[in-house]
Amino acid sequence: MLSNDSPSILDAAAVAEEQAFLDAAIAQRERLSARLAAELTVPAEDATGRARQRGLRAQLEELRRATGGLIFGRLDGVDGTVRHVGRIGLRDDDDTADPIVVDWRAPAARPFYTATPVDPQGQARRRHVRTDGPAVTGVDDEPLDGAGAGELVGEGALLAALDERRTGRMSTAFATLQREQDAIIRAEATGPLIVQGGPGTGKTVVALHRVAYLLFTYRQMAERAVLVLGPSPRFLDYIAQVLPALGETAVVAATCDTLIPGETVTRAEPRRLAEIKGRALWQGALERYVRSLLPRPRELKLRWDGEFHPIDADTVAQLITSAVQGRPYHRARTVFAEHLHHALADAVAERRAALLDEMDEGYEDILARFRPEPGDDGRSGSDVDGLMSDEELDDLRDRIATDATIARFVESVWPARDPRTALRTLLTDAALLTRHAPDLTTGDIALITADAEAVGWAPSDIPLLDAITDLLGDPGSPPSPPGSVAERARGQRGWVYGHVVIDEAQELSEMQWQMVLRRCPSRSITAVGDIDQAEAAHRHTGWADAVRSTLGNRWTAAELTICYRTPREVMDLTTPVLRAAGSHNAPPRAVRSSGIPPQTVETGADRLPAVAADTLAMLRQRWSGGTVGVIAPAALIPALTAALGDTPILTAAQSKGLEFDATLLIDPAGITAEPRGHNALYVALTRCTQQLVTLSLR
C-alpha cells in the first residue's frame, strides 16, 4: 500500500523517467550534430552537392539551437504507443524508424494540443515535461479518459509560464499552446485568414508560431520568405528572438513605414491628414495620374543617316497602345522604344528601296543586262535590288537601339520618371488632385497640398509612394542583392513573399493593405488583431469595413476568446471602457487570477511627477527581475520623463502588443481625451500580467 506521500513518490518516478529520456535525446542530438559536421567537411563537387550541403547546414543549425525545450511533452496512446513532443524532430540512427522526438509542428504532435477527455483522439494521457536546460524539473499529467474536459491544456505548465517574470522580450510558447490557438496556427494557408483576439489571448504568439508551422509544413515558402509586419520598431524588437529560437530564418520583419528599401519616415502628421491619405481612393487616383503621364500620339520625325523619317500619328498611337497593355510606365516605355526602333528601321529600309526605285526608272533595260541572277555571285539584299535582307535589317535595328541620339529622342517623347518627384508633383498641385482624385473635398485638397510642402515623408506617404513606384516600375533592372533569401527579400521593394503575417492588423489603412497585397498577390495572409484596440486615424470599426476595399468578401474569420495573460481582476475593469468606445464586443474571458486587486492613487497635477516616481520605485522593488511598464497621455510625457529618468514612458499606442509584470497607468482621463481615447485606455489597462496601479489627477 502507498503511503500518504505516494504522489511525491510518483512524481519523482515520473521526473526520473523523463530525465532518462531527455539524457538519451541530448546524446542523440550530439551524435547527429557530429555526423552532420563530418559530412560538411567533404567539399561539394557540383550544384547538387552544394544544395545538399545547404540542407545539411540548416539541419545542423537547427540541432544546435535546440538547447531548451528539446522535449516538453509526451502522448501515451490507448494502444500503448508513447510519443515525445519537442521543439524539433529528432530521428533515430535508423532513418526508417519512427522519430525519437516528434516536432511540435508535425501532424503526429497535434493531439498534444487538441486532445480532450471528451475527444481523446486515441490518447490515454498527455504529459507536460518542464525542463531547465538539460534537467527535468517537473511533470504534469492529464488523463484523457473521458472523465470531463478541462478548460486549459496543460494548465499547470501554462500558469507557471504566465507567472514567470517578464523580461522585455517575448519567449516561445510551443509547450503551452492551447486548443483554439493551435487550430489557427495549423489552419490552411489558402487565402486571407483574419483573427480577432482581445488582449491577452496570445495573438502574437499565434502569429509567430504560425510562421514556424507554415515554413515547416510548406517548405517552398522558405524559398520566397515570410514577411512579418508589426506596428512599431519597439514591437519588432520585443518579438525579435522568437522565430530564430524556433529555428526560422527565412523571415523579414518590418513595419509599413520601413517596407520600401531606402525610404524613411522622418516626420509626424495630423490625424485627419493621415485618414485622408490612407483611403482606398488613392489607388485609382494614382493609376489615373500615371496614365496621364503617358505620351500623347503625334507624328514623330526621327533622324537617321542625315535624313528625317516620319512616323505618322496613327502608327505612334498603335505603338503606345501596344506598349502599355497593363504594363508599368517604365516597362511600357521600354517596349515602346523597341517598337519605335523597329518602325524606324522599317522606314529607313522603305526609304532606301524607294530611292533605288527612283534611280532605276528609265534605266531598266540597261540595268537588266548587268544585274546578275539572284545567287549567281552570292550577293543579295540592298546591293542587288534595294531590298534589305533580314540580316541587314536586324543589324540596322541593333544600331538604332544602341544609338545615343535615338535614345535621347525617346527620352524626350517618353521621359523616365522618378516616383518621389512624381508623387510630390501630384500632392502639391491642387488642380492635379482635383482632376485625378475627384472624391476629395476642397478642404481635403487644401490640407494635402499644404502638408506636401514639408520636408521628408510622413507615415501616410509611404503607401502612396509604394503605389506610384509600382505603377511606374523600375527604369532598369536593379541587381539582386547577395545573401540569404531574407536579405534578398529585404533589399527589393518588389519582392513577392510566400506568406505575410500582420500583427495589430486593425491599424492598417486601406492603402497599407494595398502594400501587403502587392507583396503577396497569392493572398496567403494571416492577419491578427483586435478591432477594439484600433488607434489609427481611419474610421473602421469592424473587420469587414477594414478589408473590403482590398479583400472584398474573400477572407476567413477566426477568433481567440480566452485571455491568458491579463488577470481577471484587471479584465473586470474593461467592459465599461469598451462600451464607452462604442464597441458591442465582449472582452475575452480571463482564466487566471493574480490575487492582486487593481489600485488607484489620486494626486494633484503638481505632485504627479513625484508620486509617479515613488510608485514606480515600489513596483520595481515588488517585481524585481521582471518589468514595469509606464503608460501616460502624450501631453504628460515630457514632464514625467524628467522625473522618471531613463524609464521609457509609452503612449497607449506605443504599448500595443507589449506586456509587463506590472503597469503604472498615469492619468486615464487624459488618455480618454485623446483621439480614440477609450480604445487607447482599453489597450493601456490590459498590458500587465500581475498588477495594475493607476494614478489619477484630482
Note the pLDDT tens digit of each residue in 511-557.
999 999 999 999 999 999 999 998 888 878 889 999 999 999 999 99
Task: Name the binding residues for ATP.
Answer: 197-204
pLDDT of res. 289: 98
Kindly report which listed range (17-31, 363-377, 568-582) carries the lowest average pLDDT score.
363-377
Please state the rounded mean pLDDT for residues 154-173: 66
According to DSSP H, which parts of 66-109 are helical? none
Helix boundaries (H) for 418-573: 419-427, 430-436, 442-452, 461-472, 485-490, 510-519, 543-551, 568-571
Rounded average pLDDT over 613-638: 95
Highest mean pLDDT among 172-186, 223-237, 258-272: 258-272
Phi and psi, residue 34, nearest 5°: -65, -40
CB-CB contact of 108 with 90 (8 Å): no
pLDDT the model gives residue 436: 98
175 band by pLDDT with thresholds 50, 70 and 90: confident
The CA distance from 583 to 569, in Å, is: 21
User: Regarding predicted confidence, which is higher, 151 or 371?
Assistant: 151
- CB atoms under 10 Å from CB of 329, counted, come to 21
Q: How far apart are CA 153 and CA 176, in angstroms?
A: 7
Q: How confident is the model at residue 154 (pLDDT cuts 50, 70, 90)?
A: low
Assigned C-alpha cell, 151: 478548460
pLDDT of residue 49: 85
> Which cell is 321 given?
497602345
More confident residue, 324 or 305: 324
Nearest to 129 by CA among 69, 62, 66, 209: 69
Reference 193, options 455, 619, 555, 620; nearest CA is: 555
Residue with the bigger pLDDT between 560 and 49: it is 560
Residue 96 predicted with pLDDT over 90: no
- Looking at residues 112-134, what average pLDDT do you find? 89
Question: Taking 90 as the threshold, does the pLDDT of residue 693 lie above it?
Answer: yes
Per-residue pLDDT, 633: 96
Task: Give pTM, 2 decimals.
Answer: 0.83
At residue 350, the pLDDT reads 83
Tell me phi and psi for residue 449, to 5 degrees. -65, -35
With beta carbons less than 8 A apart as the criterion, state whether 427 and 458 touch. Answer: no
Q: Which of 15-24, 137-146, 284-293, 465-474 has the lowest mean pLDDT?
A: 137-146
568 by Cβ neighbours in 10 Å (0-12 / 13-18 / 19+) ranks as: middle
Q: To which H or E segment does residue 688 belong?
A: strand 688-697
Q: What angle do CA 687, 688, 691 make, to 5 degrees?
A: 145
Q: At what angle do helices 419-427 and 281-292 cross, to 10 degrees?
A: 110
Going by pLDDT thresholds of 50, 70 and 90, the confidence category of residue 4 is: very low
- Please report where in the chains the cell 465582449 appears, as a residue: 586
Binding-site residues from annotation:
197-204
Least-confidence region, from 149-163, 386-400, 606-620, 627-641: 149-163
Q: Which positions ≥6 away from 258 have C-beta within 8 Å? A: 233, 264
Tens of pLDDT, residue by residue over 435-475, are: 999 999 999 999 999 998 899 999 999 999 999 999 999 87
Confidence of residue 365 (pLDDT cuts 50, 70, 90): low
Percent of the chain with pLDDT over 70: 89
Bridge-based pairing of strands 101-103 and 82-86 is parallel
* Predicted local distance difference test score (pLDDT) of residue 11: 81
The rounded distance, in Å, linking the Cα atoms of 395 and 381 is 13
Give the model's pLDDT for residue 147: 57
pLDDT digits (tens, 9 = 90+) for 267-323: 999 999 999 999 999 999 999 999 999 999 999 999 888 888 899 999 999 999 999
Whether 602 has a pLDDT exceeding 90, the answer reads yes
Q: Would you state the pLDDT for residue 8? A: 60
| Mean pLDDT to the nearest integer, 70-89 | 92
pLDDT category of residue 167 using cuts at 50, 70 and 90:
low
**Range in 34-43, 275-284, 349-358 the model is least confident about:** 349-358
Tell me the average pLDDT of the chain. Answer: 88
Give the list of residues 6+ apart from residue 42 with CB closer than 8 angstroms, or none.
none
More confident residue, 53 or 510: 510
In this predicted structure, the answer to whether residue 187 has a pLDDT above a threshold of 70 is yes
**608 vs 372, which has greater pLDDT?**
608
Is the pLDDT assigned to residue 680 strictly greater than 50? yes
Work out the average pLDDT over 166-175.
66
Query: pLDDT grade, residue 477 (50/70/90)?
Result: low
Q: What is the mean pLDDT of residues 123-152?
A: 82
pLDDT at residue 78 is higher than 60: yes
Per-residue pLDDT of 232-272, as tens digits, reads: 888 888 888 777 777 677 899 999 999 999 999 999 999 99
More confident residue, 180 or 371: 180
Q: What is the pLDDT of residue 484?
A: 83
pLDDT at position 159 = 66
How confident is the model at residue 201, as a pLDDT?
A: 92
Using a pLDDT cut of 90, give the percent of the chain over it: 59
Where residue 58 falls among pLDDT bands split at 50, 70, 90? Answer: confident
